[in-house]
Amino acid sequence: MERNRWLLPLLLTPAMGLGYSVLSLPEHAQGLQHLVADKMEVSGVSNPVTAVLLNFRGYDTLLEMFVLLLALLGVWSLGGLSLRREAASDLVLDTMVRFLVPVLILAAAYLLWVGAHAPGGAFQAGAVLGAAGVLSLLSGWRCHLGLAPLPLRLALAAGPVAFLAMSGCTLLIAGRLLQYPPAQAGILILILETAATVSIGVTLTALFLDKQHPGNKDQT
């Protein structure tokens, strides 16, 4: 514990310095707000955050999809996190999940749709979808028998693959990475977002598939 005695003042000094430098920032700053506002018309959406995420800085989001996939690969590579419950059926949980999951899926769809012009979007929708998945797992739900490993992987890859395909197409057609024609930008972004939502939701769920699960480690 004695090593902590000097730690506090040692951390307080940079904290104060950092606080001071934050306060030294100008009271008003536009950032890129005006620039974003100017280009909203050609961005294909009307929600500025979505415009930045999927159009202006869409390249970051492309890499983002791979961050998520990498985390999943890392977790799977370690054998996965198990959520299996030994207890048999819990009536309350079971019933609640039966009601909640469809609602959550609906909510996710709404969030995805609304993201084009109001707060919302792929990440929020994906998170809600993931919650639905985790809830189902918690209640003892398992992968549907018909769901073979490759389809699961395809669902996981939907977002990154959509981004990659979009990158390839835009590169070939426009000569630039992720440059959408303004007229089609809205629909293209919606496609990307839908794929991303699926991916995010499934990935969040798939993190909790353990090794024994058929959805994982099917390889020879």
Closer to another protein by Cβ: residue 4 or 89: 4
Closer to another protein by Cβ: residue 48 or 90: 48
Q: How far is the CB of 37 from another protein (least distance, A)?
A: 7
Closer to another protein by Cβ: residue 21 or 89: 21
- Scanning the chain, the segments in alpha helix (DSSP H) are 7-23, 33-43, 48-51, 58-77, 91-114, 122-138, 149-173, 182-206
Amino acid symbol at 190: L
Closer to another protein by Cβ: residue 90 or 210: 210
Q: For the chain, give the number of residues.
A: 220
Q: How far is the CB of 186 from another protein (least distance, A)?
A: 15
Q: How far is the CB of 100 from another protein (least distance, A)?
A: 21
Q: How far is the CB of 91 from another protein (least distance, A)?
A: 29
Amino acid symbol at 209: L
Q: Which of 189, 215, 174, 180 is nearest to 122 (CA)?
A: 189
The label of the residue with tokens 């303004």 reads 182
